[in-house]
Structures are given as C-alpha cells and as structure tokens.
Amino acid sequence: MSKCHLCHERPPALKRPKDGSFVCKQCFLDIFEEEVHQTIVSNKLFRPGMRVAIAASGGKDSTVLAHVLTRLDARHQYGVHFSLLSIDEGIAGYRDDSLAAVRRTAGLPPLDPLGLPLEVVSHAELFAGWTMDRVVQTIGQKGNCTYCGVFRRQALDRGAARLRADLIVTGHNADDIAETVLMNLLRGDIARLTRCTAIVTHTSGSDGPGDVPVVPRCKPLKYAYEKEIVMYAFFRRLDYVATDCVYSPHAYRGHARVFLKQLETARPSAILDIIHSGEALTTARQGTRLPTQGVCSVCGHVSSSRVCAACQLVDRLNTFEIPAVMDDAMPR
C-alpha cells in the first residue's frame, strides 16, 4: 500500500490539488499551515505589537484564515493582536447567517471558539440606512455589486479604525487572484492587471479616486488553492457558511471562474502560473502616477477626490440614479 509522500509512514488521505502529491491528513494540515507561514514571513506581513483585523465574512476562506493565523501565532509567536472584523451589508437570508457563524468562531461554544474580539460594522449605520436589500429594492440587481464593494471597503476601513488596527487581512485565495488577473487581462485593464497580484495594498489610491485604503490590507492565503482551503476546513471541522450571495449570480467574474476551473483541470499549476504572470507584470507599474490623498468633503473619510466614492453612491441612491460603473474588474 502506498504511503504519504511527506512522512512516508501513514496512508495518504488525499492528492494535493496544488502539486499532485499524495499526503496523509496530518501532513496536509501541517504543510498547508507551513505554506501560509512562509507567505507571512517571506513578505514580512507582521511586526511584533501590530494590531491585525481579520476580515471575517463567515465564509470558508476567512474562517480558515482566522483559524490558521491563530494556530500559527501560537506556534511562531508573531506577537500581534488579532481581532475579527465583520461587515453587515444588510442582506437578509445571507449575511445574517454568516455573521452568526462568525460570532460562533469568535467565542461561543461548542465549535472550537478562537476567543477573539469581534467588531461588526453595518452598511445601514454608515450609509444613511442603505442596506444592500434596500439598494436592490431601489435600483434592481444590475450594478448592485458596485455599491456593495465600495461600501464594504470603506466599512472595513472604519471598522479597522475602531479596532485601532494597523493591518487588515482578508481571505482572498489563489483562485480569487488568478480570476482577477484573467478579468483584468480580458478587459485590457493594464493598470489593475499590474497591481492586482500585490500581497499588500498600501495607502496609495490603488483603486482609483475615492477608493483609498486607510489601513493596509494583505492576503496571507494568496498562494492557497481554494480546493485545499475547503479540505482544510473539512479536516478541521470548521464552522462556516457555504452559501453564495443572493445578489451576485450574474457577475462577470463567474465567466473567469469557469474558465480558470477548466484550465486547472487540464493543468493544476495553471492557477499559480497565472498569479506569477501577473506578478511579473508589476514592474510595469513603475512610473504610474498615484492620485493625491485628501479627505471627503461630505463624510471626512480619506479620499483622493473631493467627495468619496461611497458618498457619491449614497447621493445617487438618494436620487435613484443608476451608475454605469463596472464592478467586477476591481480587486475585491
């Protein structure tokens, strides 16, 4: 009978989607965590004393991220202070379920609670009562992801400020990043193509006017395959919600996802190959002029235009005007 390729003792429990090796459950869990640790160390993501907000949606990626980071911190003593930060976009039957999962992860028994402080920030409280349910009732489903993305980015900044966080970590995985590379390539959006693989997004006007992250964001799962994240969650019996958002079934990203899955079936390394291609293009970024940072004249949030993107959208909602902004090619 064959043995695990790593320990050469136990029988294999799975074939790693990432490299095709046969590994036992324990070696898989160990190497998955070790690879995230290597990503953290080689990119110098954490400094001792840092306050790190884990953007927790209650889905598989951010749930796995929270568990892996907590374990790695216990093992390697990064010396950082973790907390969970959740945004309630106001989507009944979707976000309320996933927030319940985050609350269980944060500290309620019986499922392996992490005991981390949790901050929940809602779109309704920040954006004049505009929950996503109300936005969709008002403008319909077309373009609604634009509102959600812009509002959530600002809500994460504001939540991070409440937590006095130095860094936000998100659960974006290798598949997410490869999809974004493909979408930006298909749209010929060279500016976004050259920066969408960055593991850390600094305060740099990275998404254009009115879209400036205040607290740097990073993606420790950047090289983790989605399939392996699902396996990790399964083996560790993590508590997460697997449903998709009810408002995004028609997003253009879905086409890139289907294409990527086909490529992965033909050649599993395709996901990492696409990320590496995107990284190779980042040198083209040199010389790009970044917008000057100021503050929004309406809400006072950091913005590179006079009125920030969120306030512009709230204004459009208040006057029932539907914007012609494309949402899918933005880094999420």
Ligand X SMILES: Nc1ncnc2c1ncn2[C@@H]1O[C@H](COP(=O)(O)OP(=O)(O)OP(=O)(O)O)[C@@H](O)[C@H]1O
Positions at the binding site for ATP: 55-57, 61, 87, 171, 176
Site membership for ligand X, residue 86 (CB under 6 A): yes
Nearer to ligand X, 24 or 118 (CB): 118
Site membership for ligand X, residue 61 (CB under 6 A): yes
Nearer to ligand X, 87 or 317 (CB): 87
Site membership for ligand X, residue 134 (CB under 6 A): no
Site membership for ligand X, residue 60 (CB under 6 A): yes
Nearer to ligand X, 6 or 116 (CB): 116
Site membership for ligand X, residue 239 (CB under 6 A): no
Site membership for ligand X, residue 10 (CB under 6 A): no
Please enumerate, by residue number, every residue annotated as part of a binding site. Answer: 55-57, 61, 87, 171, 176
| Nearest 10 degrees: Cα torsion 175, 50, 88, 200 | -30
Contact at 8 Å (CB) between 82 and 73?
Answer: yes
Closest CA to 232 of 81, 38, 34: 34
The CA-atom distances, in angstroms, between 301 and each of 154, 296, 306 are 8, 5, 10
Site membership for ligand X, residue 327 (CB under 6 A): no
Q: Residue 237, by phi and psi: left (phi above 0), alpha (psi -120 to 50) or beta?
A: left
Q: Which stretch binds ligand X (CB under 6 A): 44-52, 139-147, 166-174, 261-269?
A: 166-174
- Contacting residue, 27, 33, 40, 62, with ligand X by CB under 6 A: 62
Site membership for ligand X, residue 59 (CB under 6 A): yes
Q: Which stretch binds ligand X (CB under 6 A): 85-93, 138-146, 230-238, 268-276?
A: 85-93
| Extended strands (E) in the chain | 14-15, 22-23, 51-55, 81-88, 118-122, 167-169, 200-201, 217-218, 294-295, 302-303
Cβ neighbors of 46 (< 8 A, separation 6 or more) are 40, 52, 78, 79, 80, 167
| Least gap, CB of 59 to ligand X (angstroms) | 2
Q: Residue of minimal CB distance from ligand X?
A: 59
Over the range 179-201, which residues count as b (16 or more CB within 10 Å of their CB) and which as e?
Answer: bbbbbbbeeeeeebbbbbbbbeb
* N-term to C-term CA, the chain: 45
Cα angle, residue 221 at apex, residues 44 and 224 outer, rounded to 5°: 125
Cβ neighbors of 244 (< 8 A, separation 6 or more) are none
DSSP string, 7-21: TSSSPP-EE-TTT--
Site membership for ligand X, residue 154 (CB under 6 A): no
Nearer to ligand X, 56 or 275 (CB): 56
- Contacting residue, 23, 40, 56, 314, with ligand X by CB under 6 A: 56
Here's the x/- map for ligand X, 172-191, by CB under 6 A: it reads as: x---x---------------
- Contacting residue, 24, 29, 53, 55, with ligand X by CB under 6 A: 55
- Contacting residue, 39, 170, 180, 184, with ligand X by CB under 6 A: 170
Site membership for ligand X, residue 123 (CB under 6 A): no
Contact at 8 Å (CB) between 201 and 216?
Answer: yes
Site membership for ligand X, residue 261 (CB under 6 A): no
Residue ranges in contact with ligand X by CB under 6 A = 55-57, 59-62, 86-87, 89, 170-172, 176, 332
